[in-house]
Chains A and B, each alone.
Chain A
Amino acid sequence: MTTSNLAPTPTQTSTSSQHIANNAPGMYLYDQYDQTIVDERVAQFRDQTQRFLAGTLGEDEYLALRLMNGVYVQRHAPMLRVAIPYGLMSANQVRALGHIARTYDKDYGHFTTRQNIQFNWPKIEDLPDILEHLASVQMHAIQSSGNCIRNTTSDPLAGVAADELEDPRPYCEIIRQWSSLHPEFAYLPRKFKIAVTGASHDRAATMVHDIGLRLIKNDAGEIGFEVKVGGGLGRTPILAKTIRPFLEKQHLLSYLEAVLRVYNLKGRRDNKYKARIKILVNAMGVEEFRALVEEEWGKIKDDLYLDDAEINRVKAFFRPLDYETLETPSQLAQQLEQNVDFKRWATYNTSAHKVSGYRSVFISLKPTGIAPGDISGTQLDLVAGLADDYSFGLIRSTHDQNLILADVKESDLFSLWQALHRANLATANIGTIADMICCPGLDFCNLANASSIDVAQDIQQRFENLDYLYDIGELHLKMSGCMNGCGHHDIGHIGILGVDKRGKEWYQITLGGYAETESQLGKRLGRAIAKADITDAIENIITVYLEQRHDSERFVDTVERVGIEPFKERVYATN
C-alpha cells in the first residue's frame, strides 16, 4: 500500500493547506513516539488477527482484543469504529477516511454521537490493512470500544467559541496519551468515557459521562477543573455528581488514575448492566466514593504530577490559527438578501466565531432520506478539499453527527455554500427537529430492539416544509434503538427509545431532556407507541407546543413551563 504521501510528517507544520503558513497547526501532530506506538499496535493487532484466523486464538479471547481496537461483529459484518480524538481531523485524515470507505466499505462511513466514525462493512482480514492506512495519517482505532477508557470527547466548537474560558483540547490530548494502552485499565468492569469542556455552555455533555471535566476559574483566578463522576445514559440514566470542585491542572492525570483505580477495584463485575461507575457511585454514595479516591490520590499525586512543560508542549499545537484582520464584507449582506436559500443556510448552519470576520460552518449530515451521520467517500473527499480551501485544512465532527468547518471567512461563505449545496451537504436544518440524532438501530446493530433510521426518515419527511420546520425552531430530537441509549434519547428535548414488545417494534417517548449549561433527563410521556403511529405522535406533540408557546419560547422551555400533561393528553387521545 502506498499511503506515505498522505501522512503529515511531524516536522511539517501543516497539511496541504496554504493557509497554515505560520507554525500553528491547529491540531496535535504525532512525533516519532506517537507514531511508533500506533505502528506497533497495528502490527500487534495484525498478529492477533492472523492467530484468530488460523484458529490458535479463541473467539472469546479475540473478541476482547478486537473490541479494544474498535472492531465489533455486527448484524451483517464486522464494524470498525475509528477514533477521532475530541472530534478533530485534518483534511488528509478525512481523505484517508474517504479512501477506506471506497476501498473497504460500501463507499460510505457513519459519524457517531461520540465524534467517531464507523465503517459497517469491512472484512475481518482487511482490518489490519485499514488500521495500517489509518496509522499512516496519524489515526487509530485504539480503545474505541471494549471495557476500557474510550476516546475522550469535547466541545465541537473548542477554540473558536466566544463563551470559552480555555481551550479544552490540549487536556483531551494529554488524556488521550495517558489513556492509550494504559496497562492497568484495559479490563475495567465496563466501558469508561471522559468528556472535557472549557465553555460555559456545555456542548460536550459532561454531565452524562463517567468523568466530566469542566475548566473553571477559582476565587484566586487560577484555571483548573471541576471534576464530576458517575454520569451516564443507557438503562440507568444518571447525571454526574461533583467529586472535586476544583482540581489544579497539574493533578489531572493523578486524579483520573485514582478514580479509575477505585472503580477498577470496586466496580461490580457480576452484572454488566450494573457495572458502570455511576452504579458504584450511587450504591456507595458520592461521599464514600470521594473518600476512597482522595485517599488513593494522596498516595500518587506527587509521582504522577503533570509538568507545566508538558502541558505547554501540547498547548502549543492549539495556539490560535493565523487569522486575518477582517471586517464584515459588504457583499455578504447583498448575497444574503438576494438568495433566500443561502440566507436560510447562513442562519441555521453557521455560528458566531470569536474572531471578527469569521464564522463556523456546520455541514449537515441530515438531508432527508439519508441515515443521520452517513457520508459517502466522494463527500468526504469534497469536505477535505473545502477544508483546505476555506478553513485551514481542519474538520471537526460533532455529537449531533454533523461536521464543522470552524474557521471560515465571512467573505467565503457564499462560495462555500454553493459547493456544499451541490454535494447535498447544505441542508439548512442544524438545531431543528430534522437535525435529529440517531443510532444505527436494528438495521445494523446486534443490540437494538427496534429500527431507528427509517423512523428518523419518516419524521424528517413530515417536517420537510421549511416554513413549518423553522417555525418550530430549536428542537433536539434524539433517538436510540434500545435502552443502551447510543442515540442519547434521555437528553433529547424529544427522546425516542425503541423497545421490543412481543417481537414488534414499539417506541417510548420522553420530553424535556437537555444537556446545556445544566442538564436534565427527559420525562416519560406514557406507554410505548406502535411504529405506525410514532410520526403522528411527534406531530401531535409539536402541535401542542405551537399552541402553548409564549412568543419565541423554545420547545424545551415550553415543556419545562407547562409540564408533560398537555402533550400526554393529546398523544394518547388519538393513540
Chain B
Amino acid sequence: MQLIKDRSLMTQDSWSIISDDQLPTQLPREDIIVSGAYWKAHHSVISQNAQRLGLALSGADELDDYAADLDAFSLIALDFPVFRDGRAYSMARRLRAHHNYMGEIRATGNVLRDQMGYMERVGFNSFELGDDQNAQEALKSFKEISILYQASSDQTQPLYRHQTR
C-alpha cells in the first residue's frame, strides 16, 4: 500500500487497522482505526485510551449515527469496495459541509489515480493506493482540471461568484 496525503507521497503511515475481533482492553498504544460497529460496541473503553482514533465507515453506514462522536476521531476512512461505488463521495462532502469535520478523510479500498481529483474536491485529503499503481505519476491527477464550475468542499463558491464572467 502507498499513501498520498495532502498531495504528497508519504513514506510512512502511523495508522493501523483494528479488526473487529480484537479485545478492546488489548489495543496497541498507537494510532488506530476501528470500524463503526467496533466503536458502537466498545466506545466507552476505547475512548479512555490516550492514542489517536480513526473511524472506518462503509457506504452502508449512516453518518448521522456518529455525528455526536466525530470530535473523537482524528481520521475517518471511507471505503470504496469498487471504484464505481460512489457513496463515499457524498459521505465525505457531508462530513465537511454538514458536520464541519476538519480531520483527515482517507479514501481506502479500490482507490485509483483517475478518481482522486474528484475525491479531493469533495473532501478527501489522503488516499491509499494499491502497490500496482505509480503513485508518483498519480500526483499529477490533482492538477489536470484547473477550472471548476461547482462549489464543493475545496471551493466553497461556484465559479461565477469568484470570477467575473
Contact = CB atoms under 8 A, between A and B. Distances in A.
B64 to A, nearest CB: 10
Q: How large is the interface on B (under 10, 10 to 19, 20 to 34, 35 or more residues)?
A: 35 or more
Contacts of B93: 184, 261
Contact of A31 (B114, B152, B165): B165
A388 B60 CA distance: 55
Contacts of A265: 59, 87, 90-91
Contacts of B86: 147, 184-189, 264
Given A147-B84, A183-B122, A33 B89 contact: no
Given A61-B112, A183-B152, A310-B160, A264 B87 contact: yes
B20 interface: no
B118 interface: yes
A329 to B, nearest CB: 42
Nearest to A189: B86
A36 B146 contact: yes
Given A261-B93, A303-B97, A186 B149 contact: no
Contacts of B117: 183
Contacts of B66: none
Contacts of A65: 114
A189 B118 CA distance: 17
A40 B160 contact: no
Listed residue (A37, A177, A183) with the most chain B CB atoms within 10 angstroms of its CB: A183
A65 B34 CA distance: 33
Interface in A5-46: 31, 33, 36-37, 40-41, 43-44
Nearest to A306: B158
Contacts of B147: 33, 36-37, 40
Contact of A187 (B84, B149, B152, B159): B84
Interface in B106-165: 112, 114-115, 117-119, 121-122, 134, 144-152, 156, 158-161, 163, 165
Contact of A181 (B59, B94, B149): B149
B85 A181 contact: no
Contacts of B119: 183
A181 to B, nearest CB: 6
Interface in A115-150: 147
B15 interface: no
A264 B90 contact: yes
A33 B150 contact: no
A299 interface: yes
A180 B146 contact: no
A184 to B, nearest CB: 5
A500 interface: no
B29 interface: no
Listed residue (A40, A177, A187) with the most chain B CB atoms within 10 angstroms of its CB: A187
Contact of B89 (A41, A180, A184, A313): A184
B144 A44 contact: yes
Contacts of A56: 134
Interface in A42-84: 43-44, 47-48, 56-57, 61, 64-65
Interface residues of A, number: 40
A261 B145 contact: no
Contacts of B144: 40, 43-44, 47
Contacts of B115: 186-187
Given A44-B144, A178-B150, A313-B165, A184 B160 contact: no
A244 to B, nearest CB: 20
Interface in A165-206: 177-178, 180-189
Contacts of B150: 178, 182-183
B149 A183 contact: no
Q: Is the interface of A mostly helix, strand, loop or mixed?
A: helix
Interface string B67-104: 00000000000000001111101110110011000000
Contact of A33 (B84, B97, B152, B163): B163
A307 interface: yes
A178 B89 contact: no
Given A183-B118, A187-B89, A44 B145 contact: yes
A235 interface: no
Contact of A183 (B84, B89, B91, B97): B89
A299 B89 contact: no
Nearest to A44: B144
A180 B149 contact: yes
A147 B90 CA distance: 15
A458 to B, nearest CB: 40
A336 interface: no
B146 A303 contact: no
A64 B115 CA distance: 10
Nearest to A33: B147
A547 B66 CA distance: 68
A304 interface: yes
Interface string A253-289: 0000000010011000100000000000000000000
A43 B112 CA distance: 18
A103 B112 CA distance: 34
Nearest to A261: B90
A304 B152 CA distance: 10
Task: Please name the 3 residue pairs, one residue from A and one from B, whose CB atoms are nearest each other, closest first.
Answer: A187-B86, A183-B121, A183-B118
9 contacts: A33-B147, A37-B149, A41-B145, A64-B83, A177-B149, A178-B149, A183-B152, A184-B118, A264-B90
Interface of B: 59, 83-87, 89-91, 93-94, 97-98, 112, 114-115, 117-119, 121-122, 134, 144-152, 156, 158-161, 163, 165
Given A37-B147, A181-B145, 17 more contacts: A31-B165, A33-B165, A41-B145, A65-B114, A177-B159, A180-B149, A181-B118, A185-B89, A186-B89, A186-B115, A186-B118, A187-B89, A264-B86, A264-B87, A265-B87, A265-B90, A299-B98
